[in-house]
Structure 1
Amino acid sequence: MTDYTARRTMMVDTQVRPSDVTKFPIIDAMLSVPREPFVPDRLREAAYIGENLDIGGDRVLLEPRTLAKMLDALDIQPNEVSLDIACGLGYSTALLAHLCDFVVAVEDDAGRAEEAQALLSEHGVDNAAVMHGTLSEGAAKSGPYDVIIIQGGVAEVPAALEDQLREGGRIACVFAEGTLGVVRIGYKIDGVVNWRFSFNAGAPVLPGFEKQDVFAL
């Protein structure tokens, strides 16, 4: 029988801590939340490896290092509300639920959204709601949000999502640039999101987050 608890500890000790992720709430969440239930059954044995996991449909579960460093850079507070875009089967949502007051998650695959909500309930996560909808549109009715995190690559961030960020809020995503990519954190100041480089990482671009062509006469 696979000892997933030992694998989870090894993931934190070899992938997360060495990446300068030191905030106790993040370490605690990653030690507490099992990863293997939140991946397709065929990937359970690979749940703790240090790379993006292909969950189907050009979608990935971000590698532990990338997700942990994004959470670290966002500096999420216990009283805040988060928006989790492209939550997959809910692993990132479960982590966020450990760190903040409430999480709204958006998933564009209806079956996956339903399964994510069921898995979160099964694992005692009662401060999160998974909504089925278009990823690039977010969940405006439940906003604004203190924190937005996008679980996949982007070429650009739709204005609709930036609009859902509260003044003083933070947004994190992987910008697909060149052969790799960069994670940037955006800070909303005076109604404008200012982006700052955080670290290098890669992920496939999500549907709706491709570069929009601008035609000029």
Structure 2
Amino acid sequence: MNVEQARFNMIEQQIRPWDVLDPSVLELLQVVHREDFVPAAHRHQAFVDTELPLTATRRMLAPRVEARLLQELKVQRHEKVLEIGAATGHLAALLARQAQRVVAVEADADLAAQATANLKRTGAANVSVLNQDGAAGVAGEEPFDVILLSGSVAVVPQALLNQLKVGGRLAAIVGGEPVMRAVLVTRVAAGEFRTVELFDTVAGRLPGFAEAPAFSF
């Protein structure tokens, strides 16, 4: 496989057509090599427009979804970011190039170890990887300028929203199959949040988050 040609095709055929046009995001996708964060058994699929299996229950987000979420968050160099669902560390590595500091939370111990090793190997020195559930955020690290949930949840817990600074943004994929939507939530005041629906997609569930209560009749 011609890796650089495959990377170029991913950007031009998958990511640009999904309205990812921010030059800084497109440049990130060139310099942070996605294949370095993909398990060896699936490395030949690193640039394919699909989620990749990491464990029996966890999947790596599709490239266009990762890129679109990054573009919508508009991370700035002075900001502190919380990523929940770090998996093997790819999105944390991308965020590390944009932010001052990244706290990456991963509930699966093996994935957390892989993320730590991958980030160290690729020089992302401003990322801390924590092996813990992320539904309640990270006590003692709040408030955050940006929170990214790198997978789907039924609902966004209020505890996470409360860890945003005023002006801070949270991106998540919310809902249940077959209907999920990526949303961007901005904390506009101490007790006020504004939610914008971004796009429809489907993504694997993050562990540790409550499911929506079932309807009863």
SS in 2 for 1:137: coil
The residue type paired with residue 63 of structure 1 is: A
**Preserved CA contact (<8 Å) 1:151 1:173:** yes
The reply to whether residue 207 of structure 1 matches residue 207 of structure 2 is yes
**Matches of 1:178 and 1:59, distance apart in 2:** 15
The residue type paired with residue 101 of structure 1 is: Q
The residue type paired with residue 198 of structure 1 is: L
**Matches of 2:204 and 2:142, distance apart in 1:** 26
Give the superposed CA RMSD: 1.9
**Matches of 1:59 and 1:115, distance apart in 2:** 14
TM-score, structure 2 length as denominator? 0.92
Distance 1:178 1:109, change over 3 A: closer
SS in 1 for 2:113: helix
Say which is worse superposed, 51-60 or 141-150, in terms of deviation.
51-60
Distance 1:20 1:150, change over 3 A: same
State the Cα distance separating 1:41 from its structure 2 match: 1.5
**Preserved CA contact (<8 Å) 1:26 1:99:** no
**Preserved CA contact (<8 Å) 1:155 1:211:** yes
The residue type paired with residue 204 of structure 2 is: P
Distance 1:57 1:164, change over 3 A: farther
**Matches of 1:108 and 1:161, distance apart in 2:** 16
State the Cα distance separating 1:188 from its structure 2 match: 0.6
**Matches of 1:130 and 1:5, distance apart in 2:** 29
**Matches of 1:3 and 1:137, distance apart in 2:** 42
State the Cα distance separating 1:177 from its structure 2 match: 4.1
Distance 1:202 1:42, change over 3 A: same
Q: How does 1:1-217 map to 2 (within 5 A)?
A: 2-177=1-176, 179-191=178-190, 192-213=192-213
State the Cα distance separating 1:106 from its structure 2 match: 0.2
State the Cα distance separating 1:118 from its structure 2 match: 1.4
State the Cα distance separating 1:214 from its structure 2 match: 8.9
Say which is worse superposed, 174-183 or 197-206, in terms of deviation.
174-183
Structure 1, unaligned stretches of length 5 or more? none
Structure 2, unaligned stretches of length 5 or more? none
**Preserved CA contact (<8 Å) 2:177 2:202:** no
State the Cα distance separating 1:27 from its structure 2 match: 0.6
Q: For each residue in 1:146-196, what CA deviation from the matched residue of structure 2 results, as whole angstroms up to 9, or x when unmatched?
A: 111101111011222112111110000111245131111001122233211
**Percentage identity across aligned positions?**
34
Q: For each residue in 1:28-76, what CA deviation from the matched residue of structure 2 results, as whole angstroms up to 9, or x when unmatched?
A: 1111111112122111111110011121132111111111111111111
The residue type paired with residue 56 of structure 2 is: G
The residue type paired with residue 189 of structure 1 is: V
